[in-house]
Amino acid sequence: MSEAGQTQDAAMKPIALDVKELHKKFGQHEVLKGISLTARDHDVVAILGSSGSGKSTFLRCINLLETPDSGEVRVKGELIKMGQRRGAAAPIDMKQVDRIRAKLSMVFQQFNLWQHMTILENVTAAPIHVLGKDRKSATDKAEAMLAKVGVADKRHFYPSQLSGGQQQRVAIARALAMDPEVMLFDEPTSALDPELVNEVLKVMRDLAAEGRTMLVVTHEMGFAKEAANKVMFLHQGRVEDEGVPKDVMANPNSERFRQFLSGSL
Ligand code: ADP
Ligand code: MG
């Protein structure tokens, strides 16, 4: 297929996540200075940038772990309505917040598993308590997702009995069990010992290959180049560069992105 054909094909896929002009301040510090991103179904977007550039805040504003000051977030066409409460921006409808979060599963750098629950309980908790699934169907789904990421045999263990790589794979299974529209990953391999990084990247590559829509904050340039179809480089709260990874990472538009890729930023 020609380049033009591919572009047209990609443009016809429905929009999964549409973020417009997101702004966020902490006190006087403006951490996000108007970030926009459109992710279509099956897109894998790698988000790159130096420490402090706003990557985590961007993901956290998308799923409302932080409240953006202004801007729009639409998930599958549903707009998250923000209003002014006690002088600060806040989501208007908390039921909507739950609904949006259920569509956007997040995987954190530090796994964030519940330590007092077994692996199976970690994966079934939200489907039962947030989605209202019955225990049997939640358990069947959890076991399938644990098998998918290769840790089904650990289902009755506690998180502390697993390696970091296994814990992160459980966290991915937990995210998958919610049938999210979009998965958000915040440096999922940064807390892992180097020898455990690949088992997690392999799971993420498999998810990308099966067409999951994903936003991935990462320092893994190989993953960004090979598994992502879009890359976004943040610098001081702005989108400094973006494009198709194999093009823009070989030939950055921005000098800062070039420096970042060469390791000198
Ligand atoms: P990144 O993930 O790219 O390293 P972050 O989004 O974590 O960057 O942080 C961007 C900036 O926002 C940093 O300067 C950080 O110190 C600041 N920041 C993040 N969260 C908070 C917070 N809850 N309160 C105050 N400042 C914050
Ligand atoms: Mg971060």
The model carries a pTM of 0.93
CA of 52 to the centre of ligand 2 (A): 7
Q: Does residue 87 register a pLDDT over 50? A: yes
State pLDDT tens for residues 30-62. Answer: 999 999 999 999 999 999 999 999 999 999 999
Do 107 and 168 touch, CB atoms closer than 8 A? yes
State whether the beta carbon of 167 lies less than 6 angstroms from ligand 1.
Answer: no
Q: What percent of the chain has pLDDT over 70?
A: 91
Q: Which of 26, 29, 32, 265 to mutate to test the pocket of ligand 1 (most atoms within 8 A of CB)?
A: 26
State whether the beta carbon of 54 lies less than 6 angstroms from ligand 1.
Answer: yes
Residues 6 or more apart in contact with residue 229 via CB below 8 angstroms = 10, 43, 44, 45, 244, 245
Lookup: tokens for 58? 């961007």
What is the structure's pLDDT at 2?
A: 44
d(CA 232, CA 226) in angstroms, rounded, equals 14
Q: Does residue 8 register a pLDDT over 80? A: no
Rounded mean pLDDT of 70-96?
Answer: 74
Where do we find the tokens 């989501």? 91
Q: Which atom of ligand 1 is nearest to the CA of 186?
A: 2
Q: Which of 32, 56, 215 to mutate to test the pocket of ligand 1 (most atoms within 8 A of CB)?
A: 56
State pLDDT tens for residues 203-261. Answer: 999 999 999 999 999 999 999 999 999 999 999 999 999 999 999 999 999 999 999 99
- Counting beta carbons within 10 angstroms of the beta carbon of residue 254, is it exposed (0 to 12), middle (13 to 18) or buried (19 or more)? middle
Backbone angles phi, psi at 28, to 5 degrees: -90, -10
State whether the beta carbon of 218 lies less than 6 angstroms from ligand 1.
Answer: no
What is the structure's pLDDT at 102?
A: 82
Q: pLDDT-based confidence at 92, cuts 50/70/90?
A: low
State pLDDT tens for residues 113-157. Answer: 999 999 999 999 999 998 899 999 999 999 999 999 999 999 999
State pLDDT tens for residues 215-231. Answer: 999 999 999 999 999 99
Q: Does residue 72 register a pLDDT over 80? A: yes
Where do we find the tokens 């459109």? 38
What is the structure's pLDDT at 94?
A: 74
| Mean pLDDT score across all residues of the chain | 92
**Complete edge-to-edge strand list for the sheet that includes strand 15-26:** 29-40, 15-26, 70-75, 78-79
Measured by CA distance, the residue closest to atom 7 of ligand 1 is: 56
Radius of gyration, CA atoms only, the chain: 19
Q: Does residue 18 register a pLDDT over 90? A: yes
Query: pLDDT higher for 85 or 133?
Result: 133
